[in-house]
A and B are shown apart, each in its own frame.
Chain A
Amino acid sequence: MILNPVDTILSLVLLSVLFAFGASRIPGLIKVIAFQGIVVSIVPFFIGHEMALGGTVFTIATLIIRGIIIPMSIYIAIKKVAIKREVEPIVGFHASLLFGLGLIVAATYISRELNIPSVSDFTLLFPTAIALLVTGMFLLIARRNAIAMVIGYIMMENGIYLIGTTISVRARHIVEFGILLDILAGVMIMAIILQNIKQTFDDVDTANLRTLKE
Chain B
Amino acid sequence: MVEIVFLTPFITGIIAFFLPKAIGRSFLVGTGAIHLCLSLLLWKNRPEAFFKNYFAVTPEGLLSLLVISLLFFLISIYTISYLKESEIKSENIFTGSMLLFLSTMTMVTLSDHIMVMWIAIEATTLASAPLIFTYRTPAALEATWKYVLICSVGIAMALLGSVFITLAMDIGNVDAPLSFSALTEVAKEINPTWLKAGFVFILVGYGTKMGLAPMHTWLPDAHSEAPSPASALLSGVLLNCAYLGIFKTNKIMHAAGLGDFSGTILIVFGLMSILAAATFILKQNEYKRMLAYSSIENMGIIAFGTGIGGIGVYGAVICMIHHSLIKSSLFLSSGNILLGYGDRFIRNTGDMVRRMPKTFIAFFGGFAGISGFPPFGIFIGEMFIIVGAFRAGHYVAASIFILSLCVIFAGFANQAMKISFDDYKKGDPDKASHFKERASMVWPQFILLLTSLILCFYMPDTLYQTIIDAVTAIGGGLK
Contacts and interface: CB of A to CB of B under 8 A. Distances in A.
Interface of A: 116-118, 133, 137, 140, 146, 149-150, 153, 156-157, 160, 163-164, 167-168, 170-171, 174-175, 177-178, 180-181, 183-185, 187-188, 191-192, 194-195, 198-199, 209-212, 214
Give the secondary structure class of B's interface. Answer: helix
A172 to B, nearest CB: 9
A214 B216 CA distance: 10
A168 B152 contact: no
B319 to A, nearest CB: 24
A191 B141 contact: yes
Given A156-B153, A160-B160, A167 B118 contact: no
A198 B152 CA distance: 24
Contact of B155 (A168, A171, A184): A184
Contact of B141 (A116, A133, A181, A194): A194
B289 to A, nearest CB: 8
A192 B160 CA distance: 26
Given A174-B114, A181-B122, 6 more contacts: A137-B153, A160-B156, A160-B163, A180-B122, A185-B152, A191-B148
A117 to B, nearest CB: 8
A211 B146 CA distance: 12
A177 B159 contact: yes
A198 B138 contact: yes
B166 A149 contact: no
B119 A187 contact: no
A174 B115 contact: yes
A181 B152 contact: yes
Interface in B114-172: 114-115, 118-119, 122, 125-126, 129, 138-139, 141-146, 148-149, 152-153, 155-156, 159-160, 162-163, 166-167, 169-171
Given A170-B169, A174-B115, A156 B144 contact: no
Nearest to B122: A180
B50 interface: no
A173 B126 CA distance: 22
A146 B148 CA distance: 12
Interface residues of B, number: 38
A195 B136 CA distance: 10
Cβ-closest 5 pairs across A and B: A184-B152, A171-B166, A209-B142, A164-B163, A191-B145
B142 A211 contact: yes
A178 B143 CA distance: 24
Nearest to B224: A212
Nearest to A160: B160
B60 interface: no
B357 to A, nearest CB: 32
A171 B163 contact: yes
A104 B144 CA distance: 34
B122 A212 contact: no
A183 B126 contact: yes
B126 A187 contact: yes
A214 B276 CA distance: 10
B159 A178 contact: yes
